[in-house]
Structure 1
Amino acid sequence: MQKGQLTRTAIIEQAFQSAARVGFEQLSLATLAADTNMSKSGLYAHFRSKEALQEAVLERAAERFNDVVVRPAMRQPRGVARLQALFDGYMNWLGATVTQGRCLFMALSQEYRDKPGVIRDKLVQSFKDWHSTICRVITDAVDEGELRADIDPRQFAFEMEGIGMSFQSAFKLMGRSDADVMARHAFARLLDDARAASEAASAHR
């Protein structure tokens, strides 16, 4: 990797870490320049505008999310094992050291809720991609006979993400030490309700 690309990657990584704390609107180019030992003009040499940097940070966040959450789950067998791994990765993303308990996507969902534009469009697409991934894994589990045939994948995805949102609020805002345990109990109940009858019986033996 050439020096210019290394520098660009370092800028994106630092901006990703900062944005997870303060959001995009409060992301200061002056502070970012100082953190990367660069001048503002040096930053603009790599990015045409603040929006271009924000787009690059969102792309980086999506890559990290796939590395932490999606790809490890996809290495598991199709079915409940893969779905469980997907949730475990999601919890790791929301609460472990990889994000320091800060999810950039959730932070930006509030910041850009009523703010149309390229960043909002990309953020919405990221959430749609995540929901589609959950739905695909659920559909596979139904095909494997491990979840009920009448389950609604979109409803399951909605509730699974809701557990994640509740977890982060309890963990990061309220500082509840039992947030992880409560989130996992909630998911276990959701999964148990979705299991095929034979699988549910086996799980309780």
Structure 2
Amino acid sequence: MSPRKSVAEALSTRAAILDRSVAIASAEGLEGLTIGRLAGDLGMSKAGVLGHFGSKEALQLAVLARAGEVFRAEVWEPAIPAAPGLARLRVLCEAWISYLEREVFPGGCFFVAAAHEFDGRPGPVRDAVESRFDAWRGRLRKEAGRAVDAGELPERTDPGQLVFDLLGTAMALNHAIQLHRDPRAPELARRTVQARLGRPAAATGQVRRDPPEPATDPAR
């Protein structure tokens, strides 16, 4: 076996472990991940699973990073072509609602679940969850601020309050879907977003006006 093939196989195995771990953790929590469970599900030895990460905590952090890649692809990347400010904020919110509506993760929003699980438990995993929420709030606030500065939102709009409201809407939607299985919830969320951001014009000209943002922003 060539060294190149060995590296490729190791990366493929690691990716398979992470994908299975994300599916388990989204429904059962990051603490629900056990090396034995993963080994059984994937037909591997416990040592084989652990050898890719070294510890359960390292596995949890890698799973958070993998979930962040999925969130970025689902929610941030669709908004990159939109004009910065209100147009991009609208696209972000619609992609965010769609991501929850389609249940991209089996247990709903991965990061909402992780926040509930670790918000009162100091340590590297909690810090990683907090960092991702901070980055996402910062991304939303930046676009809200651009919209205010451009006159696309009322001058007295507080970007921090707006972001608080949008985050609350997304969390309420996640709750309504996962706990209540409420089929009306996505439409209620869209109405709430429209009430805060206004109805888009017939042609918003959503064309990129600035260079692509660094990949480190919303879901690092």
- Equivalences, count: 197
How much does 1:95 deviate? Answer: 2.2
Consecutive unaligned residues in structure 2, runs of 5 or more: 1-6, 205-220
Q: Which TM-score applies when normalising by structure 2?
A: 0.84
How much does 1:127 deviate? Answer: 0.4
Name the counterpart of 1:131: 137
How much does 1:47 deviate? Answer: 0.9
Name the counterpart of 2:45: 39
Correspondences of 1:64-103 after superposition (within 5 Å): 64-100=70-106, 102-103=108-109
Distance in 2 between residues matched to 1:91 and 1:143, nearest whole Å: 26
Q: Are 2:70 and 1:58 aligned?
A: no
Distance in 2 between residues matched to 1:105 and 1:169, nearest whole Å: 13
Deviation sequence 1:11-67 (CA, Å, 0-9, x none): 111101110010011222212112222111001110110000000001111111111
Cα pair 1:101 1:172 within 8 Å, conserved: yes
| Equivalent AA in structure 2 for residue 61 of structure 1 | A
Of structures 1 and 2, the one scoring higher in RCO (CA 8 A, sep 6+) is: 2
Q: Which TM-score applies when normalising by structure 1?
A: 0.90
Distance in 2 between residues matched to 1:5 and 1:36, nearest whole Å: 15
Q: Identity of aligned pairs, percent?
A: 36
Cα pair 2:24 2:32 within 8 Å, conserved: no
| Equivalent AA in structure 2 for residue 184 of structure 1 | R
| Equivalent AA in structure 2 for residue 6 of structure 1 | S
Moved >3 Å (runs of 4+):
none
Correspondences of 1:1-205 after superposition (within 5 Å): 2-100=8-106, 102-192=108-198
| Equivalent AA in structure 1 for residue 39 of structure 2 | A
